Amino acid sequence: MPAERALRVGIGGPVGSGKSSLIAALCHELRDEHRIGVVTNDIYTTEDAEFLRASGALSPERIVAVQTGCCPHTAIRDDITTNLEAVEQLERDEGPLDLVLVESGGDNLTAVFSPALADVQIFVIDVAGGDDIPRKGGPGVARADLLVINKTDLAPFVGSDVGMMISDATIRRGTLPVLAVSLRNPPRAIAVAEWVRARLAAYARAGGHLHSSVSGAPDHRHGHAHSH
């Protein structure tokens, strides 16, 4: 049975970890084979959407900006109404789509997406943030469906040990995958794109049912979320 809607991939992580750059790279890798849309989150601006449009990642009408006006946690986890409406409107206007990437506003290590908003989740950290981040953990590091350690090219300049970060992350995550990448140097986002391709294939085989590894988020799968 074909999926009734696009696979929704939530992409979260701290400010400056490279979420927008990863999305741009993924769009460049996947746009010739899949129909993609993007929803970005900023608290008061549309800067991330503007960056993606300027990068030529997708046609501008497939990139929608949400101004949350509140803590990023709230907009992707607790009261997802604005984001969910943006995703659904994007699919109505530009669909049918195969994949919608939903970028969280920059947040800390505790940010996760509601399963009503994201089918699977990617969490992005970077070596410049410190090689102790995987040891500190948090839901994004420990339980996101994919952990991306970005900016490996900077490791020699900031004194971070990428091998130790991968090892510590693996201890935290068990069998969940970890990828270390540099978006500035080849092969850039190819490994992450392969992971997304595999999720798209699994989603199609399952007829549009794919569940994130992240638990503990409120599930409003049968309707819009509302604040309490």
DSSP conformational letter for 31: T
99-117 tens-digit pLDDT: 999 999 877 787 899 999 9
Instruction: Please say if the pLDDT value at position 12 is more than 60.
Output: yes
Q: What is the mean pLDDT of the segment spanning 62-86?
A: 91
Mean pLDDT of the chain: 90
Confidence of residue 209 (pLDDT cuts 50, 70, 90): confident
Tell me what pLDDT residue 147 has.
98
Tell me what pLDDT residue 221 has.
32
Radius of gyration (C-alpha) of the chain in whole angstroms: 16
Neighbours of 89 (CB within 10 A): 12
- Full-model pTM: 0.90
Detail the DSSP E strand segments found in the chain.
7-12, 36-42, 63-67, 99-103, 120-126, 146-150, 178-180
Across 25-39, 65-79, 127-141, least confident range: 65-79
Neighbours of 32 (CB within 10 A): 6
Q: What domains, with CATH codes, occur in the chain?
A: 7-205 (3.40.50.300)
Confidence of residue 2 (pLDDT cuts 50, 70, 90): low
Q: What is the mean pLDDT of the segment spanning 68-73?
A: 82
